[in-house]
Amino acid sequence: MSKATEETLARIRKIRHVVMDMDGTIYRGKQLFPTTKPFLELLDKYGIGYTFLTNNSSRSKKVYLDHLEEFGIHIEGSQMYTSTVNTVQYLQKFHPEVKRLFMLGTPAFREEMVSYGFTDVDMQEEPEAVVTAFDTNLAYERLCKAAWWIKHDKLWIATHPDLECPTELETTLVDCGSITACLECVSKKKAIVLGKPNKEMIELILDQHGLKNEEAVMCGDRMYTDIQLAVNANVYGVLISDLSHNEVPDNIATWTMPHLGILGEWIEEARK
């Protein structure tokens, strides 16, 4: 990893808030990266705020908060933003009349949507919209029914575009984007896809904390969601990758580094 240039340090010096992806950026599965806690402690030391941002809609916001607690990371609910929350906000803003949802998602996802006032429609009832999420309990019959309603022109929302969920296990976790692609293929329809990289995912955080674009940085391990979000929202983007910046194909990140510890080192140097 190359030493930070004076131009880079000048940019880093302005940063007041760090937005971080979770799985693949601060941990993988049940394994917390060794640089994560020291990095968060450094942010606290310098009064730099931070928010965790995840597209993974298979778990509720509370489960994510509990998961971080297991790692010894204690944050407020306002520091956690998920694609499920983004979906709720989208429906409330643009389709306030929609309450009855046919959902492809985990029990935790469906229960969280119900907690926000939506109705979980069963196989025999007609919904007002179809919502597809990261469904680790995907049932063929429900997939077919979702396709049926989509083909019959129901409003269709996908919580996020991720094709695959990172895992430390020896398997491939088929994510929401792949489920959505299947339904798009059979229905010949296109979903409204929320979550990263839609710029609203960061604009809400900027507004909440009164931040200018150059005062925020988005850190993540995926180019087409995390770093594309940084570009779309016009904030700095840090790609977490074992490859060097120039080795990453079509790299649109501001900086590329193997772990957040490097960003921590730059922050320390910028504030000397």
Query: Do residues 205 and 178 both lie within one domain?
Result: no
Residue 59 reports pLDDT greater than 80? yes
Residue 128 reports pLDDT greater than 90? yes
Residue 39 reports pLDDT greater than 60? yes
Closest CA to 156 of 139, 123, 173, 181: 181
Task: Band the pLDDT of 204: cuts 50, 70, 90.
Answer: confident
pLDDT at 197: 95
Query: Do residues 187 and 99 both lie within one domain?
Result: yes
Residue 43 reports pLDDT greater than 70? yes
Query: Do residues 128 and 152 both lie within one domain?
Result: yes
Query: Do residues 107 and 151 both lie within one domain?
Result: yes
pLDDT by residue (tens digit) across 69-88?
999 999 999 999 999 999 99
User: Does residue 79 belong to any structural domain of this protein?
Assistant: no
pLDDT at 168: 80
Distance CA 7, CA 5 (A): 5
Q: Which residues contact 116 (CB under 8 A, 6 or more apart)?
A: 88
**Domain total of the chain:** 2
Closest CA to 163 of 70, 38, 55, 19: 55
* Residue type for position 163: L
Residue 39, domain CATH = 3.40.50.1000
End of a domain among 141, 160, 193? 193
Query: Do residues 38 and 111 both lie within one domain?
Result: no
Given a contact cutoff of 8 angstroms between Cβ atoms, the answer to whether 235 and 252 are in contact is no
pLDDT at 1: 53
pLDDT by residue (tens digit) across 222-254?
999 999 999 999 999 999 999 999 999 999 999
Residue 66 reports pLDDT greater than 90? yes
End of a domain among 193, 226, 255? 193
How are beta strands 164-165 and 173-174 bridged, if at all? antiparallel
Q: Which residues of 115-136 are buried (b: 16+ CB within 10 A; e: fewer)?
A: eeebebbeeeeebbbbbbbbbb
pLDDT at 181: 98
Residue 2 reports pLDDT greater than 70? no
Residue 53 reports pLDDT greater than 80? yes
Looking at every residue in the chain, the average pLDDT score rounds to 95
Query: Do residues 209 and 188 both lie within one domain?
Result: no
Residue 38 reports pLDDT greater than 60? yes
Question: What value does the mean pLDDT take over residues 4-13?
Answer: 94
pLDDT at 57: 93
Q: Which residues of 244-258 are buried (b: 16+ CB within 10 A; e: fewer)?
A: eeeebeebebbbbbe
**3-class DSSP state for residue 152?**
coil
Query: Do residues 122 and 204 both lie within one domain?
Result: no
Residue 127 reports pLDDT greater than 80? yes
pLDDT at 272: 83
User: Does residue 66 belong to any structural domain of this protein?
Assistant: no
Place of tokens 């570009």: 231
Residue 213, domain extent: 6-55+197-270
Query: Do residues 210 and 180 both lie within one domain?
Result: no
pLDDT by residue (tens digit) across 152-182?
999 999 999 999 988 888 999 999 999 999 9
pLDDT at 261: 96
Query: Do residues 95 and 187 both lie within one domain?
Result: yes
User: Does residue 60 belong to any structural domain of this protein?
Assistant: no
pLDDT at 221: 94
